[in-house]
């Protein structure tokens, strides 16, 4: 049987590798440099500010624990060996559902280079062909034109809109829900974007 986690996925100059607690320094630096770029799309806590958000190390340990149980796959995205973003598969469920969802972010200097398109294609292939899931879902804010285009480019269908779905940048935000099912996957996502 092929190993589904931990796994490193590569195509060309794009690599998805398992997130590590030791990525903290580079991750913080990248997030600080891209604060204004990411803020508009950033998940926030809808509860009192007296409840502290998790630190990177706490969050990484939590995700790695979930990864060990098979419900999460936290990846660091690298381009030419340099950390430039993150893609996290969450909510992996087996049994009669066989589903998951994923989200991602990329540093501004690396946006528009098809890096995240390749990363999303790699992880989608992995989820269907190695993990053998039935359904992969991605939630994208309607205002995020590049991410909406990315999902359509990879063959995801717009299933609908979830009203006030996630708390983003201090407010409840609607999200377009994109879905791809195993019966729709006729060719590799990588082959699909390479045309």
Task: Break the chain into its structural domains and give their ranges.
Answer: 9-194
pLDDT digits (tens, 9 = 90+) for 121-146: 999 999 999 999 999 999 999 999 99
Decide: pTM greater than 0.85. Answer: yes
Q: Quick check: 1 pLDDT over 50?
A: no
Q: Which residues contact 103 (CB under 8 A, 6 or more apart)?
A: 87, 88, 90, 138, 139
- Arch. (CATH architecture) of 9-194: 3-Layer(aba) Sandwich (3.40)
Q: Quick check: 12 pLDDT over 70?
A: yes
Q: What angle (nearest 5°) sits at the alpha carbon of residue 177, between those of residues 175 and 178? A: 140
Do the strands 99-106 and 135-140 form a parallel or antiparallel pair, or are they unpaired? parallel
191 pLDDT band, cuts 50/70/90, is: low
pLDDT at 51: 63
* Interval 61-82 mean pLDDT: 95
45 pLDDT band, cuts 50/70/90, is: confident
């Amino acid at each position: 049987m092929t190993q589904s986690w931990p796994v490193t996925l590569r195509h060309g100059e794009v690599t998805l590798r398992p997130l590590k607690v030791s990525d903290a320094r580079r991750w913080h630096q990248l997030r600080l440099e891209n604060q204004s770029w990411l803020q508009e799309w950033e998940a926030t806590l809808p509860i009192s500010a007296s409840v502290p958000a998790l630190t990177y190390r706490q969050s990484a340990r939590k995700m790695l624990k979930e990864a060990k149980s098979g419900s999460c796959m936290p990846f660091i995205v690298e381009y030419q060996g340099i950390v430039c973003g993150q893609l996290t598969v969450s909510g992996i469920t087996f049994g009669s559902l066989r589903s998951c969802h994923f989200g991602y972010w990329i540093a501004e200097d690396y946006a528009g280079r098809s890096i995240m398109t390749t990363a999303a294609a790699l992880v989608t292939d992995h989820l269907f062909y190695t993990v053998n899931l039935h359904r992969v879902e991605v939630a994208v804010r309607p205002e995020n034109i590049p991410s909406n285009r990315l999902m359509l480019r990879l063959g995801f269908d717009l299933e609908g809109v979830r009203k006030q779905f996630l708390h983003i940048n201090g407010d409840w935000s609607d999200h377009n829900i994109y879905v791809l099912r195993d019966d729709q996957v006729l060719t590799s996502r990588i082959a699909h974007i390479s045309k």
